Structure 1
C-alpha cells in the first residue's frame, strides 16, 4: 500500500520528541519530496500543516484546510462506529492504519491507505497527530480491471466460464430452499470451425461478437450468458415457470442466428445446435446441469443441426457410444478399415456407365455397421475427417488399380472431399503424394466439393481449383441448390460437373417449381460449359423428364445402389451385355 521506505522515514521522524525539534528546513524537505500525503494536526485535531502531495491528492490548498478538522475530507460512506473504532485503537495503541474512503474537493470519493500516529513530548503528552496516506485509486482501478478480466470473456464482453460457474453457485444456493426452476441452454455454432479455418480468426472473432449481440437482445437482465469456450455459449434462463419458456428462447435463438451475418463485406451463414437441461429436474449442481445440456446439444447436432433438444436419460447411454465411436474410429484409421462402395453414373444419351462415385462404408466388430451419417459428422467435429479422407483416397487408388487390371480404364472415380480437408494448406500436396505412392494418374479421379466449400475464401479456393484442374483432376459441385444457390459465382471456377441435389429430383414430376429450378440449372450449367448430373433418381418418370430437359448423367437407385467393388465389376459386365443386346 504505502511505500515502505517512505512510511518508515516519516514514522521515524514523528516518533522523536516533537516535530518542532526538527528544523523547518528538514520538515520542508520531507514534505516536498515524499509522494504520500501528510497531514499534521494539533492535540485538538485541528489541521496545522499539510504537504504538496496532500494538496495534489485532495484538491485542497493548504490555506483551505489549516484550522479545520480532518472531517472536511469525510466521504459519508463510513458510519460513526467506524470512526469510533479507529480513534479507540489510536488512543490505545498510539497508531491506526487501514483503508478509508475520503472525498476530494471536487466531490469525488476515492480510496486511500491511511496511517495515523500520535506524536508525544518528553512528558508523554500528545502534542500532534500525523496522518500519512496513499491514494489507492489507480491501484483499485487496476484491481478492478484484473477482476473484470478474470470474470469476463475478453472478446465478447460476456461472462467467461469461471464467472458463469460462480454466478450459478450463488443462484443455486439461493434456490435450494425455494421452488425455483431454471433452464440451462448449451449452444454450439454449427460449422464455425470451417469459417475460422477458411476466412481466418479475425473474421471468426467478429462473427462471435455479432452472435453474442443477437443473443443478448433476447435475454433479460436476470438471465446469465457466458462464453464457455471457442464457439460454445451457455445461457441460464432464471426463475422460469414452465420448460416451454426455454423452448421459446431456443427457437428464437435458432431463428435469429440463421439470418446472414455481414462481416467484412461478406454474408456468412451459421446455425446453432442447442441442448437444454432443467433445474432441479435434471440436477441441482452446475456441473451436472452443464453436462446434461451438453449431451442434449450433441444429440441435436447429430440429428440435423440447427435444432434444440432437452436432455433425456437415454443420452447417458449414447455418451458411452460416442466414447466407443471415437476409440474405434481411431483404430479404423490406423488399420485402414474403411471400405468403398461405388454407385454408377449413367449417360442419359448413350446409356453407358461413364463414371462412379465412391461412398465410404464402415463395418466395426463392436459397433456393427456404422452409418456415414453418424461417423462423418463426428469426424468433422473432431478433425478426424482429414486422416479418414486420406484413407478413402488411398483405398480409391487401390480400387482403381483393380479396375485397371480388369481392363476397365475409362471409369473416373468421384471422391467427396470434406470442406475441412480441402481448406488445409497442404491438401493438394497430401493427395498427390497418395496418388504418386499408388502410381495413379489424377485424370482418373473427380473431386466433389459442396457449394459452401467453394464459396468460402474465394481467392484461395480459385487457386486450388485451378491447380487441381492443371494436375488433371475433374471438378464438380455436389448437392447444388442446398447452399448459396447462386449460379453467378460458378463462372469464376474451372468446374466440369454440376450435381443437382436429390431434394430437387424427388419432386420433379409432381411440383412445377422444382421442375422449373432443375430446368434452369441445366440450361445455365450448359451455357457455362458444364455437364449436369442428377443424383437421387429413383423413378422411370424422373429419368424421362430429365432426358427431355437435357440432363447429361443420372445417378441413383433407379439404376443401382452403391456396390462393393467386386459386385460393381460384375454389374458393369452385366450392364455392357445389356447395352449390346439392346443395340
Structure 2
C-alpha cells in the first residue's frame, strides 16, 4: 500500500476531507516518535522524532519491518502476548526496550493502534512512542543514591539490610554459612578533631578501597555510619575463614595512609557473628557482631573477637551501670582520692591530684577505666565532672580547717566538658558557691583537648588563667601536638605521660625524648611533672635532667582524704627531723 493510499483511507474513515492535508503536518510536528506500517507490518512512514530517537533515517527503514529496532531483551512470549492483545483490543501499550542504530539499547513507552477501514478490514498499524532514557536514568540515579553511601560509594545501612534480608531468605533450607564482620576504626575521632573532617572523609574513602581489595563480588560491604563498616563474607566453609579475612583487614589498615602529604596511622576493631549459629535474622546477627566489636575495642583494640554468650551479660551490666551512674550523680556519691606531687629538688609536697573513685552497692568498686569512658559516650561526664569539682572544693575546706592551707588541688577536666559553651561559667559558679579562690586549684587538660578548636580553646584558657587557675597539659606525648606549637597556650605545667617514664632507665630513646621535652618546656616557661614514677633510679635520672616535679607510687599511691592528711602530717614531721 502506498503512503498516499494509507493516508487517504485514514482520512476517509476517521477525519473529514478538510483535514486530510493537515494530518502529515501534525504527525511531523509532535515530539513523540511515530511509525506507520501497512497490514503486513512493513514500515510506510516515520516522523522526524522517530529519526531523532532511533538514529535511523526515513529512507533506511521504509519497507523494513519494526524488528529492525528489536533489542533482543524480550523473548518470543512477550511479542506473542503483545500481538494477541493488539488483535483483540485494537491497541497495545507498555514499556519496551529497543535498539538505536548506534547499537545502544534504550527504554520507551510504546502505544500501537490498529487502523481499520470503514468496512472493518485492517489497513495497517500506527505506533507512537516516547524515549524513557532520561526518566530511567533519573530513576536509577535516585535509587542509587538511596542505596549508596555518598562518600565511599559502597552500600549504605538501608541497602545493606535489604541485601542481607534477601541473602538470608535464599539461604534458608541450605547448608550455607555467612560471617558478619562489624568493623570500627580506632582513634578515628582524633583524626577528625585534629586534622579536620575533610581529611577524615578522605581517610574513610581510602579505608573502603583497601577493604574492597579483599572481597569477592558476592560479598557485601557497607558503611554503616560514621567510621563503622559492616562486611558480610558469604558462603564460608568454616569460621576460620572469617578469622583469616579479619586478620588481613587489620594488617592492611595498619599500613600508613598518605593524605594531603601526611602519614596517618589507624587501627581497627572487628566483631564477628556467624549465620546461622548466632542467629537467622539480619538484626540479630548485626547486634551480636556489634557487641563483639566493642569487646575487641575494650580489650586492647586493633583485634577481632567472635560473639559469645557472656557478652549478653556485659550488656546487662552496661544497663545497670547506666542506672547506677545516674543515681550516683543525683546522690553525689563519688569519692576523691589524692596523689601527692613532690618537688624533686626541695623534697616538698607542692600539691595533689584528685582522682575519682566510685563504690556502688550493686556493682562494687567500679574502675574509672570502665565508668569514665561510658560517661563520656553518654554525656553523663558533664554532671559527673561538676560533682567532682564540687567535691574537691569541699575537701579543700576540710584540708584548710585541718591546717593544710597551701595544698593546691589538680582536677582533671574532661574534653567533652571543656568544649561545652557554658564550661567557664559553670566552673566559676561552683567556686563562688563554695567561696574558694581559683588560685588554690590546677586544671589538667589532655593534649588532645587543647588541640581541638584552638581559637576557642585559647579564649577559654585565658579566661581561666585570669580567674586565677593554674593550667597544665596532661598525658603529653600521646597526641599530635608539638611543644613549639604550645607556646600560644597560657600553660603553667606539662605532665610527661607515664608511658615514657616506665622504661626511661632501660631505653635510651625514651631518655632522649624525656630530656628534650623537659628542656623545651623550660624554654616555654613551663614546669615539668613526671607521672608514673615508681623506682629510685627513675627519680635520680629525672633529677639529673632537671625535671621539676614527680608523681607516682614511688612516693605514694592515691589516698582517701583522711589518709592524705595523715601522709601530709607525717611528711612535715619527717622534714622537721622529728
- On whether the aligned pair clears a TM of 0.5, the verdict is yes
Query: Any conservation in 1 of the 2:194–2:480 contact (CA below 8 Å)?
Result: no
Task: Call closer, same or farther: CA 1:328–1:157 in 2, change over 3 Å.
Answer: same
Alignment partner, residue 215 of structure 2: 219
How do 1:327-476 residues align onto structure 2 when only pairs under 5 Å count? 327-476=323-472
Q: Give the whole-Å Cα distance in 1 for the aligned partners of 2:329 and 2:160.
A: 38
Alignment partner, residue 95 of structure 1: 91
The worse-fitting range, judged by mean Cα deviation, of 155-164 and 75-84 is: 75-84
Alignment partner, residue 550 of structure 1: 546
- TM-score normalized by structure 2? 0.90
Q: Give the whole-Å Cα distance in 2 for the aligned partners of 1:406 and 1:42.
A: 113
Query: Any conservation in 2 of the 1:73–1:103 contact (CA below 8 Å)?
Result: yes
Query: Any conservation in 1 of the 2:351–2:409 contact (CA below 8 Å)?
Result: yes
Matched, 1:150 2:173: no
Alignment partner, residue 574 of structure 1: 570
How do 1:215-364 residues align onto structure 2 when only pairs under 5 Å count? 215-259=211-255, 261=257, 263=259, 270-364=266-360
Query: Any conservation in 1 of the 2:11–2:17 contact (CA below 8 Å)?
Result: no
Query: Any conservation in 1 of the 2:93–2:112 contact (CA below 8 Å)?
Result: yes
Q: Give the whole-Å Cα distance in 1 for the aligned partners of 2:102 and 2:200.
A: 45
C-alpha deviation, 1:305, in angstroms: 2.7
Alignment partner, residue 3 of structure 2: none
Task: Call closer, same or farther: CA 1:552–1:571 in 2, change over 3 Å.
Answer: same
Q: SS of the residue aligned with 2:71?
A: coil
How do 1:96-245 residues align onto structure 2 when only pairs under 5 Å count? 96-193=92-189, 195-196=191-192, 201-245=197-241
Q: SS of the residue aligned with 2:13?
A: coil
Q: SS of the residue aligned with 1:38?
A: strand
Q: Give the whole-Å Cα distance in 1 for the aligned partners of 2:341 and 2:234.
A: 56
The worse-fitting range, judged by mean Cα deviation, of 203-212 and 142-151 is: 203-212
The worse-fitting range, judged by mean Cα deviation, of 407-416 and 451-460 is: 451-460
Tell me which of 536, 541, 564 is aligned to 2:537: 541
Q: Give the whole-Å Cα distance in 1 for the aligned partners of 2:432 and 2:405.
A: 18
Q: Give the whole-Å Cα distance in 2 for the aligned partners of 1:344 and 1:409.
A: 15
Tell me which of 34, 46, 49 is aligned to 2:45: 49
Q: Give the whole-Å Cα distance in 1 for the aligned partners of 2:162 and 2:510.
A: 53
Query: Any conservation in 1 of the 2:292–2:306 contact (CA below 8 Å)?
Result: yes
Q: Give the whole-Å Cα distance in 2 for the aligned partners of 1:423 and 1:48.
A: 78
Task: Call closer, same or farther: CA 1:414–1:263 in 2, change over 3 Å.
Answer: farther
Aligned pairs, number: 570
Tell me which of 27, 41, 61 is aligned to 1:31: 27
Q: Give the whole-Å Cα distance in 2 for the aligned partners of 1:336 and 1:89.
A: 81
C-alpha deviation, 1:116, in angstroms: 0.9
Task: Call closer, same or farther: CA 1:224–1:394 in 2, change over 3 Å.
Answer: same
Task: Call closer, same or farther: CA 1:426–1:209 in 2, change over 3 Å.
Answer: farther
Q: Give the whole-Å Cα distance in 2 for the aligned partners of 1:456 and 1:257.
A: 25
C-alpha deviation, 1:459, in angstroms: 4.4
- TM-score normalized by structure 1? 0.89
Task: Call closer, same or farther: CA 1:267–1:427 in 2, change over 3 Å.
Answer: farther
Q: Give the whole-Å Cα distance in 1 for the aligned partners of 2:11 and 2:220.
A: 55
Alignment partner, residue 59 of structure 1: 55
Task: Call closer, same or farther: CA 1:166–1:116 in 2, change over 3 Å.
Answer: same
C-alpha deviation, 1:224, in angstroms: 1.6
Q: Give the whole-Å Cα distance in 1 for the aligned partners of 2:569 and 2:45.
A: 110
Query: Structure 1, residues 297-338: CA drift from partner, whole Å, max 9, x if none?
Result: 111222233332221111111111111112222232333332
Q: Give the whole-Å Cα distance in 1 for the aligned partners of 2:201 and 2:357.
A: 37
How do 1:474-513 residues align onto structure 2 when only pairs under 5 Å count? 474-484=470-480, 486-513=482-509
Q: CA RMSD in A?
A: 2.8
Q: Give the whole-Å Cα distance in 2 for the aligned partners of 1:542 and 1:271.
A: 32
Q: SS of the residue aligned with 1:100?
A: strand
Which 4+ runs in 1 deviate beyond 6 A?
13-16
Query: Any conservation in 2 of the 1:194–1:419 contact (CA below 8 Å)?
Result: no
Task: Call closer, same or farther: CA 1:354–1:240 in 2, change over 3 Å.
Answer: same
Q: Give the whole-Å Cα distance in 2 for the aligned partners of 1:201 and 1:482.
A: 21
Alignment partner, residue 74 of structure 1: 70
C-alpha deviation, 1:573, in angstroms: 2.2
